[in-house]
Amino acid sequence: MQDEQQFEQLMMQYRQLKNRAMDISRLIDGEDYDSAITLIKTREEIFISCKCIRRYLELTPEQEQEMNTLLDEIKVIEQENMSKLEKSMSDVQAELLITQKSQKINNAYRNRDENESGSMVNLKE
């Protein structure tokens, strides 16, 4: 009886993790990275709680299958979130590079005499 209650509690916590992962995905899509990071940090307590429950809980094969199915769903969502974050980081780096090049051009040619500073800017630096 107690094992059944602990299993239900464990599954409830895994569902919370799945819901948070989906919330994080929506926040990433909306480019609300601060809120996404806050949610990522707060879920660690749930992971620790799940680990503690699993350590002492003996599961039936059906319970093990149900839990593994939910864990696989969480993993897929988390991997998608990581891919989205990596793509966003890549996009930001590309935009930053363009901005840096534009700034370098502006600084090089702004109100300067051609004889003082030359007439070429090296954008590869």
Helices (H) and strands (E) in the chain, counts: 5, 0
Kindly state the average pLDDT of the residues 76-102.
91
Whats the size of the chain, residue-wise?
Answer: 125
pLDDT band of residue 105 (cuts 50, 70, 90) is: confident
Residues 24-61: tens digit of each pLDDT: 999 999 989 899 989 988 888 898 999 888 888 888 99
Residue 38, both tokens: 């806050």
- CB of 21 within 8 A of CB of 47? no
